[in-house]
Structure formats: structure tokens, C-alpha cells
Amino acid sequence: MEKRISGTTGLFTLLGSPVGHSGSPAMFNFSFQKQGLDYAYLAFDVKKEQMPQAIDALRLFKVRGSNVTMPCKTVAADLVDDLSPAAKIVGAINVIVNDNGKLTGHITDGLGFVKNLQEKGVDIKGKKLVVLGAGGAATAIQVQSALDGASAISIFNKKDAFFENAQATKKKINDSVTAVELHVYDLDDQEKLKAEIASADILVNTTIVGMKPLDGQSLVDKSFLRKDLVVADTVYNPLKTQLILDAESLGCTVAPGKGMLLWQGAAAYKLFTGKDMPVDEYRKFEEEQKAVNA
């Protein structure tokens, strides 16, 4: 029987759909237990149209905090009482903190990206980024990078429904952060892509290309990469995308999406508990679990 749960245990949740595959319950519950915190974390499958009820439930049950995942991140931003500066610009949230009934929304995906690079010894300040993509992950990364002092961001997207999103993000960032140069380009313009990567410090793929079932594919010709380019990906399944493998083979510093996933969770943990998540211990635990299940 679970001995940790009592009448005083504080609840944290994950809201979204689907949630059954999520690694968050394991990560948060492991960390609560390690640090002796009287909290539990559960995932609830909630559709977009059910979010108003779910947010009411957070208030009713005095849930301490919640993560929000797809497809509920945007609608949740409209339902909370306040937003962090980054969440205000992004217009989407993945974390809700319940402070005695006042719900504040945060977005930690961009923080996870920046921290993942920091762990590899890369500081985003003053750097030029090429970002492939203009969806949810891309917007969070673009906004956080601008807030953290990137000097220039060139966004490439194909001319699909997300292209307009790239232009809207450029405008939103320009309205609040002036010290960053922003450009939006068509991903089909390969000459431009080659030239922009040639003058960039960091390249990041935030599209679904590279993720299963598009694994084995990369949006960037390997000849556009060079050894002193830092190459990151948001995709974490597979652990190494074709882009990361190409970059690694050239000796580039690489930052695969799994690290971003971990660090965006650690940033949420800090907002929830005020404490640093026991990241190294959790990584060790994950490795042990992998070995047991192999």
C-alpha cells in the first residue's frame, strides 16, 4: 500500500489529452518522495472543451499546481488569473501555480531549452539562432531566447498554417523586447537557409520532422552544418534525431530534446515547490528502470 498518501497530501496534476504516455507523474512523484514532500502527482485526460471545468476543479480541490499539455496549453492561458511575462507573450502555458486560490500560468518549455544548452556549456546571450518551426515549442523557445538576450533569431517555416504564427510571434517579441533582430523566412528557400545557418551560432529544430514516424528525416542538408555550430532539437522520441546524428558526426555540440524535456519539468518543479528537482538522482533512477525493463 502507498504509505506516503495521507489526509494532508497536497495534489499536483497534469491536464491534457492524451496523458497516459507522460513521464511527468513518475518524475514528480520520484522527486517528492526523494525530498520527503507530502505531495502526489496524477495525470487527468482532459479535452480542450473540458478545460473550464478542469480549472474550476483545481480551485475547488485546492490543487497546489498543475502541468498543462497538448491540446490545452492555449485555452488554459485564457482561464487563469495571471500570466508570467513569458507566458503573456507566448499566449500559452504549461504550468499553473495555485497560490491560495490565485492561479498563475507559466511557460517553462523555453526555460528548458535554455537550460539544456547551458548544461552543454552554451550561453544564449548575444547568440544568433536559426529556429526551424513556428508551432508551440518554437514560440516558447523564440520568446525565451529573446528575453534571455539572444542577438538575432531567424525563423524558418514551411508555408503551412504555422507560417502566420511565426510572423505573429515576431511582432509580439518586437513589441516587448527591442534588442533582438528577428526575421521570418520560407523553409523552401534553401539558399537563405544555408546563408542564415552559416552566420548562426545555434540551430534548433522545433518541428515534428525527426519525430516518429518522421524519424530518419532532417530538414537540414548535412553540408549546411559545421563543427562550431551548436545543434539542438526539441524532438525526444527518438532520443537522437537524424539532425542530431549528422551534427554529432561533424563534432558539433549537440542538445537533444530529452534534456529540454527534463529541464522544463525541473523549472515547473521549482515553481511548484520552491526547491531544485533532484535531476541527477532522477536520471540515475531512469537509467536503472531502463536496465530493469530491457
Q: How far is the CB of 8 from ligand NAD (least distance, A)?
A: 32
DSSP string, 235-286: --SSSS-HHHHHHHHTT--EE-HHHHHHHHHHHHHHHHHSS---HHHHHHHH
Whether residue 73 lies in the annotated active site: yes
If the CB atoms of residues 13 and 264 are measured against ligand NAD, the closer one turns out to be: 264
- Separation CA 116–CA 121 (nearest Å): 9
Residues 153 and 142 sit within 8 Å (Cβ to Cβ): yes
Q: Give me the residue whose beta carbon is nearest to ligand NAD.
A: 135
Q: Is 157 in the site for ligand NAD (CB under 6 A)?
A: yes
Q: Is 206 in the site for ligand NAD (CB under 6 A)?
A: yes
Q: Is 234 in the site for ligand NAD (CB under 6 A)?
A: yes
227's CB contacts (< 8 A; 6+ apart) are 250, 251, 252
Q: Which triple of cell numbers denotes residue 240?
A: 537522437
Q: Is 119 in the site for ligand NAD (CB under 6 A)?
A: no
Which member of 112, 148, 242, 282 binds ligand NAD (CB under 6 A)? 112
C-alpha torsion sign, points 166, 128, 217, 185: positive
Q: With CB under 6 A as the rule, give the number of residues binding ligand NAD.
A: 25
Catalytic residue among 3, 73, 128, 158: 73
If the CB atoms of residues 9 and 183 are measured against ligand NAD, the closer one turns out to be: 183
Q: Is 133 in the site for ligand NAD (CB under 6 A)?
A: yes
Q: What is the largest CA-CA distance in the chain?
A: 62
- Separation CA 32–CA 13 (nearest Å): 13
Q: How far is the CB of 46 from ligand NAD (least distance, A)?
A: 17
Q: Is 134 in the site for ligand NAD (CB under 6 A)?
A: yes
Q: Is 138 in the site for ligand NAD (CB under 6 A)?
A: yes
Catalytic residues: 73
